[in-house]
Structure 1
Amino acid sequence: MTMKIPQGALIVVADGGSARVFSNVGTQASLALKQEALLEGMNLDDEGPSGSMPSESSASQLDEATFAKQLAKGLNDGALKNKYEHLVLIADAKTLGRVRPLLHKETQQRLIGDLAKDLTNAPLETIQSTLS
């Protein structure tokens, strides 16, 4: 994946149950990620997934869909409040497929790239080299 990631860009690495949030503290030419937050164990009890889910969905599938909805909501809130200018989203294919349609137009305009890959538990160096 070769893309120019500007300094200050938000990089979100997610799977169906957690997300690591980074910012590029390097330059566009020399990527250097700093972890800003770890989102996991969100309260999924009071919310359900967005859209319709098959009735035979398991509890873990419902939790993953609900997490994707909450992640998209957080990204949308950040975009609408101008908390970031550029966004890169990395997630496993299923999570990425659930998050994409929930992204607000403002969030989509800030999305400079996405990658369907599960790097949530990968070391920082692996994430950086994947983006470089």
Structure 2
Amino acid sequence: MQLAHGAVVAVVDGEILNLYRNTGTEADLKLAALPAVDPSGDNKSAGSRHQSSSANPDASRLEEDSFAAAAAAMLNKQALENKFDQLVVIAAPKTLGELRKHWHKALEAKLAGELSKDLTGHSVADIEAALGKN
């Protein structure tokens, strides 16, 4: 996957959100970590406002859904504030499904791609390699 210089990559699971910026070129991807963020804030009920992704959600699934909703809200806010022109989201499959429910139209317009894979806790080199294969 080719990403423009300055594009943002969000790596998300149900508990962690890591952001990276492409400091390289489209042809030579080089991700640099952005400052850590905690989107969960006061959005603890977000996952319980809709039907959860599983028939009988347990507390941990609701927490993960709530975190995904909070992460989407934070990314939506950044998209609306033009903090990035292009975004790629890499997320664990269930988290990606939950994120999609909360995308704002402004974010969708900047979404350059999605990768349904859990890469939180992986090295930058692993993330770059996964993006390079797509």
Shift of 1:44: 5.8
- State the one-letter code of the partner of 1:52: Q
Alignment match, 1:81: 81
Of residues 69-78 and 55-64 in structure 1, the stretch that sits farther from structure 2 once superposed is: 55-64
Cα deviation code 1:23-52 (max 9, x no counterpart):
000111100000003335834675331422
Report if aligned partners of 2:40, 2:71 keep a CA contact under 8 Å in 1: no
Within 5 Å, which residues of 2 pair with 1:49-88? 49=47, 50-53=49-52, 56-88=56-88
Alignment match, 1:15: 13
TM-score, L = length of structure 1? 0.90
Alignment match, 1:128: 128
Alignment match, 1:107: 107
Within 5 Å, which residues of 2 pair with 1:31-50? 31-40=29-38, 42-43=40-41, 46-49=44-47, 50=49
Matched residue of 1:11: which SS?
A: strand
Which structure 2 segments of 5+ residues have no match? none
Identity of aligned residues (%): 35
Which structure 1 segments of 5+ residues have no match? none
Distance 1:48 1:29 in 2: 38
- Larger relative strand fraction: 1
- State the one-letter code of the partner of 2:27: A
**Aligned residues: CA RMSD:** 1.9
Alignment match, 1:30: 28
Distance 2:46 2:105 in 1: 23
- State the one-letter code of the partner of 1:64: E
Report if aligned partners of 2:13, 2:91 keep a CA contact under 8 Å in 1: yes
Alignment length (residue pairs): 130
TM-score, L = length of structure 2? 0.88
